[in-house]
Structure formats: C-alpha cells, structure tokens
Structure 1
Amino acid sequence: HIIEKDKTIGGNAKRLSETLEGENVQKYLTHITKELKKDKNITAHLETEVISLVGTAGDFVVEIKKGDKKEHITAGAVIVATGAEEYSPTEYSYGKNEKIITQRDFESKLSNSQFPISNCQSVVMIQCVGSRNDEHPWCSKVCCSDAIKNALLLKEKNKDVDITVLYRDMMSYGKKELKFKEAREKGINFLRFRKDEEPRVSVKDKKIEVTVKDLVLDRELQFEPDMLVLSTGIVPHDNRTLCEILGVSLDEDGFFKGANPKFRPHESEKPGIFFAGLCRSPSVSG
C-alpha cells in the first residue's frame, strides 16, 4: 500500500526536468507510475492521509482517510517517505521583482519552450539561501548540483549568456565534481564570498543590483543581471502530527530521527518503521 497525500505520486521529483548527469526525471517518473498501476500487488491510495497506527513490527494496523472515508489496512512494516520542502526565501529582495526566482522555478522555465532565452543575457546565482546559517545549520546537498545543472542547461540554449555563481563552498560530491569542472571550462564564473560578507541585493527602477566582495580579489564587484536565481535549501515539513501518530522521534532540526546516525540511519527507534529520502535529512537524487 502506498499512501499519497497528493493527486499523483512523485513528490519533489515532479518539479525536476533532469538530473545533473542528464537523466530525464519526468520520463523515469512516468515509467514508475505505469509500473505501479500494472502491479496487482501494489495499491496506491491517492489524496489520502494516515490518521492512526497501532500494533508492532509484523502486525501493524494503519487507519487511513480520504475525504470522509476511513479504512484500515494491515502491514508488516512502514516506510516513511514524506519528503521535505523548498525553503521559501525572505532575503535577497525575493518577491520584489519577478526576475528574482528560485532554482526550482528557473528549472521549470528552462524546460519551457516558451521561455525567452534570448532575453536572458546575464544571470547571477546565489548559493546557500536558507542553508548553513543559524536557523538552518545543515547543508542541503542539492543546491550546488542544481546551480551547476541549470547553468549548463542555460549555456546549451544560449552559449553567449554570462553566468556568475556566488558561493561560500561548492559541494559537488563524487562525480558531480566533473560537472563543476565542465561548467568552469564552458565559461561559467564562480566567485567565492565569506559567510559574514554575503551578497547584497537591491531593486531600483525594476533593475536588479547585486554587490558582493570577492574573496580572491578582495574587492567588491557589482552586477546588474537580467535574472537573479536563488539556490534555496531544503527544510523539513511540519512532521509533528505524523511523528505522534507513528510513535517515532524527530531530530533537533525537525527531520525524522534514525535509531543511530552512523549505523542505522534509516531505521526508527520503533521496530518496523523505516525512513527513506528527504524526510530523514537532505540528500541528493541518483
């Protein structure tokens, strides 16, 4: 049984066009959905929520609700894969200009054939928006990969576009480092700033101005991009209600807590209940 609160399965993947490695996410998601529908041993309960759980490992009884209809199903184990959400920025003048957008929105525009690429001659991206700060001290792990991916996608569509990525540290894990190298070779600029000297953004007469002190040059630089893209981090859903229903714990950041972060990160402290994906912590796809 798959319990899905939305009308379709897929979660955050529904907003992705492709991975950094070039794999088509929507094609894969369509394939998985078709396979689920074909399998007689899998039942997908859409627009449904869990309202209670009793029992022990091997003998759980889960009460689910869709609209006014309630139903009980039995299960030997429970896998929590409720995901997380994109940080909604309040900084960098977000919301004051339609050309200040997040990486998710930018990716959607790039996959839209109607997006006027020719009007976008300069782009600035700012990393670690809503991550690695006092409120959200963790690295969201996807922001740097998303920036590299979208910068390369834009370069493919418009080789003359000027792209500058402002960052504190580039977290390009494993083979993703090769894509980081490719981005630099294709002329995408990466400028590093200090944590205590974050970029400043202002909007004047509908023009975007970005000022940053480059760590290498040790002087301030100013940009007037056609578009400013914020690499927003990952934050947990409000998991408190589901946490109480399942009888499991949350960590200090609001993600579901594994039994042991090193040896049993995907197991809960309650036998028979497991965690997968972003509900446990920020992670990369693929």
Structure 2
Amino acid sequence: MEETEAATEKAKDLIRMGVARAALLEPQDKVEVDVVPSALIIGGGIAGMTGALNLANRGFEVTLVEKEEELGGLLRYLHRIYPTQEEASDLVKAKARKIRENGNIEVLTSAIVTQVQGFFGNYDVTVKREGKDIPFKVGVIIVATGAEEFKPVGLYGYNGVNIVTQLELEVMLKAESFTRNNVVMIQCVGARDDNRNYCSRVCCMTALNNALILKERNPKAQIFVLYRDMQTYGTLFEDIYRKAREEGIVFINYSPQRLPTLDKGFVNVFDEFLGEEISLLYDLIVLSTPMIPHPDSGELAKMLKVPIDEYGFFLEAHVKLRPLDFATDGVYLCGSAHWPSTVSESIVQAYGAASRASIPMSKRRVIAEPIASVVDEEKCIGCGLCEMICPFKAIRVEEKPGGRIASTIIASCKGCGVCGAACPQQAITMRHFKDEQLLAEVMALAEGT
C-alpha cells in the first residue's frame, strides 16, 4: 500500500534530524598504530606449521607454541593421508625439518600461552615452559590449536584393543603386518546426537581410507561399514567411495532409532534397505567418532577475547566475508580449531590465515577506527565494569596518580558503545555519537511533530 504523503513527512523528519546533528559534529582524525612485524602461532599441528613457514618465508619472525613435546598434532598418529596416500610421518618430518632450518621461526614445545595483553599490532604475550615464564611482543596472532578425537567410553564396549576408534586404528596400521579378517566400522558414534548435534565431516573419509588399506593388506577380509549418511563430498571423495564398493567393502545403512548392538562376538544391525536384522561376525570393531575441541579452547578464547560456538570451536568474524579472521583485529584462525578439517583443508586455511596476518605486518602500521569511546577521568571511579564487559578487550583500568582510571585502547575499540551504556557514572561517551548530538536529533524530530 502506497503512502506517499507519510513517506514524504518521514523523509523531512530524517533530513531535519540529520541537519541538527551535523551542526554539532566534530572532525574525527584517523589514528595510526605501529605494528610489530612478528607473529605468534598457537598450535604446532599441520596448520600451525604451514602458517609458520609461510610467514617466515616472507621474512617475518614467528614464535610457534605447541603444548606437546613434538610438532605435528594429530598428524603424528595418522598412517596415510587421503587422497594422496602420502605417509603422514613423512609430511610431519618434512615440515619439522624446514621449521628447524628456518632462522625466522622460534619453536616452543611443551609450552602454553598463559597471558595475552595489549592490542592489535602490539600484543604482550607470556608463555610458560618448564615452569618459566617467557615474555615477548608480537603484532598478530594465529590460532591453530586443532582438535582432538572423541573417546567413546561406555559406547559399544569400547576398550582400545579389539574395539577401537579410527585414530587408534591408524596407529595400528603403522605396523605393516597388522591385518584383520572380519572388520565392522560403525559411523557417527558420539556424533549427531543430543550431546554433539553436528557432523564431523572427516570421519566417513577416514573410515573409507582405512578400510581400503585393510582390504589392500588382506583382500579376503570381510569389511562392513555401518552408516547413517556417507559424507563423501566432492567428486574425488565420491570416487574413493565407489572404489571401496568395487573392492568388496559392504555398506549397511542403519537408523538412529535402531542402533547397532553387540552380542557374543557379533554385531547386530537392522538394514534399512533390506528391512531385516543382520548379524556380523567381527574380530575388530572400529568406531568413527567426531572431532571435538580441546578442553582449554574456552580459556584461550577468553584470553584473546574471541568467540566460540556451543561446542567449543572458534567462530570466525563472518563465514563468507572474513572466514579466517576473528572480530578482534589482529587475531586469525585456521585448521580444525575452527571446525573439523582434512589435512588439505587445514593447509589451505593456514596459507590464507598467514596471508591475512602478513598484510598489517608488511605495512608496519594500521589505521585505527576513529569512532571510539572516550573516558572522562573526572567522572571515572575505576570500578572496572567497562573492562569486564568489553567484547574486544579495548578498555582497561590502570593505576594513575589520581587513582584507578579507565582508558580506551584506540587500536582495539570498535565503537560498539557497550562500555558507555554500562558505565554507572556516565563517564564514557562515544566519538561521533555524543549525548548532545543524539539529543539534537530527538529534539529536531519532536519539533516536527
């Protein structure tokens, strides 16, 4: 329904409000912030190692922090990488050797990040290693902490011996003599349920890859894959699925309402296509479990002031426009810390994150957002509420001669106004959105009615 007169009056009101506010606006000068040309990469898996090498080869200094004793992450436990069938150990050794030979990379293994302070371009980081605190300064941070495999304790009689996970099978397959005659793989164990209502993406391809290796070693082996839905996305992975069927690997579809059961050396499963229950003899059961975030991801997220989802995976700034950035400037993301990823996907993301991180370091400075919060030191009582609620870690309370006073970190502030709205003393205002400017708009609107 057209309301031309009402639309015209609304336009007049908006113009009147804009003019009233414009009369009180002040010029906002851009603020330049120097950037330290060095990077911190948290996590020494395939994504972290790739990102470190990429930045180091561009001439930047990199500190690579890994909590385990060795670099490699989950890749250390894998046998062969699909679809290339490259030995995972060869890839880890090659990456680790290049890192050792690169003078721009400092590796801190058996270490954890305990503190991150500062702002985009100037982060003060503290790492604890062997009981000692190691402080240093970096300009950007890349989170590549990866993920871990869910251990299905209490499910399907899991015992780590003849009822194992796919990752445990990978370790067994490293022994060239390892083989079995009757293997049953059960997909979606501990996933797509009330506790973890998501698909881990990589489980199905891992199962196919391991099943083909077992079939290669023992062509007479009976291998069954019990699945809900096979996630073999892309033409290449679909070809691997077809190859598995051609090799004689049997796929049986089951319903989450009728889960497989174990009974005296047999797996009983109701085949949805045949409409009847089948009993499968086994000497090895392999449970395909989901990738889950590390337990300390929440603590790291709080330290960096970055978000995580309901499961504990890190959340990017925008899934389409900024898939490798956090909302907090200067902090980037790659690998399975974001979501379960294949080796190739993690490598690609690491290149992307390193590319993003290299931009501010190459320029050696960044332009800070001029629309930021301003603290009136005469009104501030140093309660710390603003520091506690700031989603970007852009305000801090410091001891000054007059007492505890809050101050804004211009380089980090996004001008969201949360601190100003929460301040009990009304000591915080927003540049370009001062009270008198907004009040002028309200008064102009009232005068026109």
Task: Find 2:336's aligned residue among 268, 274, 278.
Answer: 278
Q: What is the deviation of 1:261? A: 2.4
What are the equivalent positions in structure 2 for 1:107-186 lying under 5 Å apart?
107-115=170-178, 117=179, 120-174=180-234, 175-186=236-247
Structure 2 match to 1:252:
310
1:217 aligns with 2:271: no
Q: What is the deviation of 1:229? A: 0.7
Amino acid at match of 1:270: T
Query: Number of matched residues?
Result: 278
Q: What is the deviation of 1:114? A: 4.4
Task: Find 2:101's aligned residue among 18, 38, 47.
Answer: 38
Any gaps of 5 or more consecutive residues in structure 1?
A: none
Q: Secondary structure at the match of 1:27?
A: helix
Structure 2 distance, partners of 1:43, 1:193, is 50
Structure 2 match to 1:72:
135
Q: What is the deviation of 1:49? A: 0.8
What is the TM-score with the length of structure 2 in the denominator?
Answer: 0.60
CA RMSD in angstroms comes to 1.3
Per-residue CA deviations over 1:180-234 (Å, capped at 9, x if unaligned) read: 00000010000111121111123x3xxx221111011011101121111111111
Segment drifting more, 158-167 vs 47-56: 47-56
1:264 aligns with 2:322: yes
Structure 1 match to 2:259:
198
Q: What is the deviation of 1:113? A: 2.9
Structure (1 or 2) with the greater helix fraction: 2
What is the TM-score with the length of structure 1 in the denominator?
Answer: 0.94
Asked whether the equivalents of residues 277 and 283 of structure 1 are also in contact (C-alpha less than 8 Å), the reply is: yes
The sequence identity of aligned pairs, in percent, is 36
Q: Which has the higher contact order (CA 8 A, sep 6+)?
A: 1
Structure 2 match to 1:234:
291
Q: Which has the larger radius of gyration?
A: 2
Structure 1 distance, partners of 2:131, 2:284, is 46
Q: Secondary structure at the match of 1:128?
A: coil
Q: Secondary structure at the match of 2:286?
A: strand
Structure 2 distance, partners of 1:53, 1:104, is 33
Asked whether the equivalents of residues 131 and 234 of structure 1 are also in contact (C-alpha less than 8 Å), the reply is: no
Q: What is the deviation of 1:66? A: 0.5
Detail structure 1 runs of 4+ shifted over 6 Å in the superposition. none
Structure 2 distance, partners of 1:106, 1:145, is 14
Structure 2 distance, partners of 1:140, 1:165, is 17
Asked whether the equivalents of residues 20 and 176 of structure 1 are also in contact (C-alpha less than 8 Å), the reply is: no
Asked whether the equivalents of residues 130 and 136 of structure 1 are also in contact (C-alpha less than 8 Å), the reply is: yes
Q: What is the deviation of 1:68? A: 2.0
Any gaps of 5 or more consecutive residues in structure 2?
A: 1-62, 345-449
Q: What is the deviation of 1:176? A: 0.9
Amino acid at match of 1:281: W
Q: What is the deviation of 1:241? A: 1.4
Structure 2 distance, partners of 1:145, 1:70, is 42
Segment drifting more, 251-260 vs 182-191: 251-260
